[in-house]
Amino acid sequence: MNANTQPTSRQKSIANWLLVCCALVFAMVILGGVTRLTGSGLSMAEWRPIMGAIPPLSDAEWQRVFEIYKETPEFQRVNPDFDVDDFKGIFWLEYLHRLLGRLLGLAFSLPLLYFVVRKHISLRELPWYLMMLALGGAQGLIGKFMVASGQVDAPHVSQYKLAAHLGAAFLVFGLMLWRALSLLNPQPDGPRHPWFARTAWLTGLVSVTVLSGAFVAGLRAGKIYNTFPMMGDHWLPPGLFALEPLWRNFFDNTTTVQFDHRVLAITTFLLIVVYWFRARRAELPVRAKRSANALLHTTALQVVLGISTLLLSVPVWLATTHQAVAMLLFAVAIYQLHSLRRG
C-alpha cells in the first residue's frame, strides 16, 4: 500500500467499530441457530422491545409468562408436560438472543451518533450508515413476525420469514464488512479488476446457497434424507415435484428443498475449486491470492460440515457450526470481492 493510501486514525476508528458490530451480528446468527435448533425460539410469546430487556424476577412473574406460553401451539402440541422449571430452560436462550439484538442496536446507533456529531462521518457518507441502521431494524422486525408465525396454528416458524430474517442479517453483515474493508484499505478511484465480475457472481452463488439452507432449516428438511451422496436409494428422490404449481416445490417441498441445497452446495464447491486453480495462475493482488486460498479451504470445511450434519441427523452442535461457517464463508467471499474492486 502506498503512503497516500494509508487509512487515517478516524478511518481506523470507524472501521474497528464496524468490525465489532460484524462480530456481534456473527454472534447473533450463531445464537439464533442454537435457539432454533433447541426449540427455544418460540418460548417468549410476548414482544416488548423496551421492557422485554428485563427478564422475570419473581415467581409470580415467571408464572405469568408461563401462562402466556401455555396458550401457544408449541406448548399444546410439543411441550404439554412442561412445568415452570422446564419453561425456564428454553426461555433463557431466546431471552439472550433478543438481549444481544438490543445490545447490537445500541452498539451501532450510539457510536454512529458520536461519529456524526464529531464530524468523523460526513453528510455525504451518512446515508450508507443510515441504510445499515434501517436494515438492522428491519431485520429485527422480520424476526418479530417470524416468531409470531409459529404462535398461531403450528409450532414452527414460516420458512419464508426465516430465510428473510437470516438473509437480512447476512446483508447487514456484508455491508458493514465491506465498508470497514474500504476504510482500512482506501484506494483511489479506478476501473474494476477484470476478475471482479466473476468473483461477484461467485459471491452471489454463495449467498443463494446460504438462503437455500435457511429453507432447509425452516422446513426441517435436513432430517428426511440422512444419506449421501444419494437421497435414500435414489439420485432423484420420489416426490421431487409433487406440489402444484411447480414453483412451490422449491420453497415448500421438503424433498425438493433438501435436493436443491445439495445441488447448490456441490455446484458452489466445484466452481470455487475451478476459481482457485485459475486464480493461482492469474495476475491478482497479493490480498486476492491469499483470500482465494482461504475461500477454497473454508468452502471445503463447510462441505464436510454439511455432509456430516446430514449423516448425523442434524445434531445441535454440528448444525450450529455449519451455520457459523456459512457466515464465515460469506465473509471470506466478501473479502475476496473487495480485494478486486480496483484493477
pLDDT number for residue 3: 39
Nearest alpha carbon to residue 162 among 95, 204, 99, 216: 216
Residues 6+ apart with CB under 8 A from 102: 49, 53
Full 3-state SS string of the chain: CCHHHCCCHHHHHHHHHHHHHHHHHHHHHHHHHHHHHCCCCCCCCCCCCCHHHCCCCCHHHHHHHHHHHCCCHHHHHCCCCCCHHHHHHHHHHHHHHHHHHHHHHHHHHHHHHHHHHCCCCCCCCHHHHHHHHHHHHHHHHHHHHHHHHCCCCCCCCCHHHHHHHHHHHHHHHHHHHHHHHHHHCCCCCCCCCCCHHHHHHHHHHHHHHHHHHHHHHHHCHHHCCCCCCCECCECCCCCCCCCCCHHHHHHHCHHHHHHHHHHHHHHHHHHHHHHHHHHHHCCCCHHHHHHHHHHHHHHHHHHHHHHHHHHCCCCHHHHHHHHHHHHHHHHHHHHHHHCCCCC
Number of Cβ atoms within 10 Å of the Cβ of 216: 25
- Kindly give the confidence (pLDDT) of every residue in the chain, 343 residues in length, as a single tens digit, with 9 standing for 90 and above: 333 478 899 999 999 999 999 999 999 999 999 999 998 888 888 777 765 678 888 999 999 999 999 988 888 888 899 999 999 989 999 999 999 999 999 999 999 999 999 999 999 999 999 999 999 999 999 998 898 887 777 778 899 999 999 999 999 999 999 999 999 988 777 788 999 999 999 999 999 999 999 999 999 999 999 999 999 999 999 999 999 999 999 999 999 999 999 999 999 999 999 999 999 999 899 999 999 999 999 999 999 999 999 999 999 999 999 999 999 999 999 999 999 997 6
pLDDT number for residue 47: 75
Nearest alpha carbon to residue 276 among 254, 263, 295, 252: 295
**Contact (CB, 8 A) for 45 and 72:** yes
Rounded Cα distance between 206 and 170, Å, is 11
* Backbone angles phi and psi of 283, in degrees to 5: -90, 90
Query: What would the grid cell of residue 265 be?
Result: 452446495
pLDDT tens per residue, range 254-312: 999 999 999 999 999 999 999 999 999 998 999 999 999 999 999 999 999 999 999 99
Cis before residue 245, ω within 30 degrees of 0? yes
Domain layout of the chain by residue ranges: 1-188, 190-343
Q: What angle (nearest 5°) sits at the alpha carbon of residue 41, between those of residues 320 and 134?
A: 90
Query: What would the grid cell of residue 115 be?
Result: 461519529
Nearest alpha carbon to residue 36 among 228, 212, 225, 166: 166
Rounded Cα distance between 139 and 87, Å, is 26
**How much is the pTM?**
0.94
Rounded Cα distance between 143 and 260, Å, is 25
Strand partners, 234: 231
